[in-house]
Structure formats: C-alpha cells, structure tokens
Amino acid sequence: MIDLRSQGDVDGMRAAGRAAARVLADLRRRVAPGVTTGQLDAAAGDLMSLHGCESACLGYVVGRLTYPGRVCISVNDEVVHGIGHPGRVLREGDLVSLDVVVRKDGFIGDNAATVPVGAVPEPLLRLCAATESALAAGIQAARPGGNVGDISAAIQGTVQPLGLGIVREFVGHGVGRRMHEEPQVPNWGKKGVGPRLLPGMALAIEPMITLGSPKIAMDPDGWTARTRDGSPAAHFEHTVLITEGGVEILTLP
Ligand code: MF3
Ligand code: CO
C-alpha cells in the first residue's frame, strides 16, 4: 500500500523537506580538518532547533537497536548510518557523508550529501560527482505514469559504465509521516518495471556508490555499514514529490 499525499500533506512535506535541506546546507559548511564527527552531530541538533524541526534519527528503532545520533555521519569506507563520535577527528583527504532526516509538524524530510574534507584525491571527487549525477538522473527519470524501475535504471545507467559499485543492501524509500514507507526504490533495475509512480507519492531517492567492490559489512555497533574492501563510498539523497506535471525536489534550501 503506497500512500498518496493530500494537499495538506504536501504543504507539510514541503516544509519538512526545506528544513532538512537547510540543516544539511548549514552542516556541510562545518566540515573541515580537525572537526570531530561528535561536534558535527551536536551542531546538527542546534541547527534543527534553529530551523524548527527535530531529528528523526535520534531514537529510531530497528529491531532491538536504537539509533543514538542526531544525524548519520559516515566517513570514507563507511557507507551509511555511521554514528558521530567525539574521538573521531576528520582529516584532510577524508570523505564524509552527512544524512539528515528531520521531522517537522509530523512530516519527514530526508536528504544526504557526501562532502570532501579539505583537498581530496581526484578519484574521490569523481566518485562524489558520479553519485550526485546518478541522483539527478534518477530524479529526472521520475514522472507520473512511469514506474519505480525508471528511477532505478537511470541511477544504474549512470554509475555502472564508470565501473563504480552499487550497494544493494540499502535502497531508497517512500517517505511521509514515517521515515521509511513503501515503495522501496532500488538503485538498480529496469525501466518500466516496479510500482507505478502517481501524483502525490513522496520518495527518498538515495544512491550509495563505492569506488571498489559494493559488498558491505556491518560494524559491531549494529548501524555502521562499511565496504568490505575498505574502498570509499558516496551517498547523495533528495526527497521528491511526484506531481501531475512531473517531479518536485522537496529538499532544496
Ligand atoms: N536516510 C537514512 C535512511 O533512509 C537515514 C537513516 S536514520 C537512522 O535509511 F536512524 F535509521 F539511522
Ligand atoms: Co533515506
């Protein structure tokens, strides 16, 4: 069952998306060599208060685990759901993925970006650019009357020719009053396949792409997903709304 948003819901989703985007935009500017991921997590909490929203990650329960951070902060070979820590200092050359999910007036906004710390090697910049392009291609492929697979195929078609890895264990998702709703939005697939896209559907599209093998392993903390081969990963995400005329990105500042 895929929920469609009413006009009132759409206004709420727009406000939540904008707040999530503002927090992410402000947080990215705090990324610098010497900053700890614990400081970034604390800053995220302040920024959420500033922008009139709260963390949807803090206290998020999956099975027997409760997420302890305000935002997900994943460094280098960490793909997603990394946890900020006061002892984790960012160094020049690192890649840091920031995943900001907020709740505002009962609605969720979900967005992510991978940010270079100072000067980083060219291949890492290309990884980030390719992942951001894949997200853009996925969004462009979304239209009412199309299928979820159109988005998936556009993402796959962008990164696969470049020899990059597509993480399979995590996918994009429907979003609304809850962070994770139907449908799943995989980052690989075939055009014309999967659930039909209809006006009023809100989706979080989020390619997670690796420079080497896409195989991941979970850390003992139960949250942090990292590449098995130690290769760096990138993650870009927007929340979008399927409209009568096409697609609207909700997570723009
Ligand atoms: N954007 C991430 C996702 O959709 C955010 C997860 S928050 C966490 O999975 F609390 F579950 F870690
Ligand atoms: Co998400």
The number of helix segments (H) and strand segments (E) in the chain equals: 4, 17
User: Ligand 2 centre from 243 Cα, in Å?
Assistant: 20
Per-residue tokens: 142: 């979304």
**What are the angstrom distances between the C-alpha of 211 and each of 151, 201, 219, 233, 252?**
21, 32, 20, 6, 27
Angle CA 247–249–253, to nearest 5: 160
- For residue 73, the Cα-to-chain-centroid distance in whole angstroms is 11
Tell me what pLDDT residue 44 has.
98
Q: What are phi and psi of 141, to 5 degrees?
A: -80, -10
User: Ligand 2 centre from 228 Cα, in Å?
Assistant: 22
Cα gap 219→185, rounded to integer Å: 24
Q: Is 67 in the pocket of ligand 1 (CB under 6 A)?
A: yes
Say if residues 27 and 47 touch (Cβ distance below 8 Å).
yes
Antiparallel, parallel or unpaired: β 238-242 and 247-249? antiparallel
- The domain limits of the chain are 7-249
Tell me what pLDDT residue 89 has.
98
**What are the angstrom distances between the C-alpha of 30 and each of 36, 79, 98, 128, 192?**
10, 20, 11, 18, 41
User: Ligand 1 centre from 100 Cα, in Å?
Assistant: 8
Q: Is 101 in the pocket of ligand 1 (CB under 6 A)?
A: yes
Point out the ligand 1 atom lying closest to the alpha carbon of residue 57: 10
Tell me what pLDDT residue 1 has.
79
Cα gap 46→56, rounded to integer Å: 14
Q: What are phi and psi of 238, to 5 degrees?
A: -130, 150
**What are the angstrom distances between the C-alpha of 147 and each of 17, 25, 172, 175, 184?**
23, 30, 14, 17, 12
Q: Is 72 in the pocket of ligand 1 (CB under 6 A)?
A: yes
What 3-state class would DSSP assign to 30?
Answer: coil
Tell me what pLDDT residue 2 has.
87
The domain made up of 7-249 is a member of CATH 3.90.230.10: yes
Task: Profile the chain (253 residues) by mean pLDDT over runs of 10 residues.
Answer: 89 98 98 98 98 98 97 98 98 98 98 98 98 98 98 98 98 98 98 98 98 98 98 98 97 96
- For residue 234, the Cα-to-chain-centroid distance in whole angstroms is 10
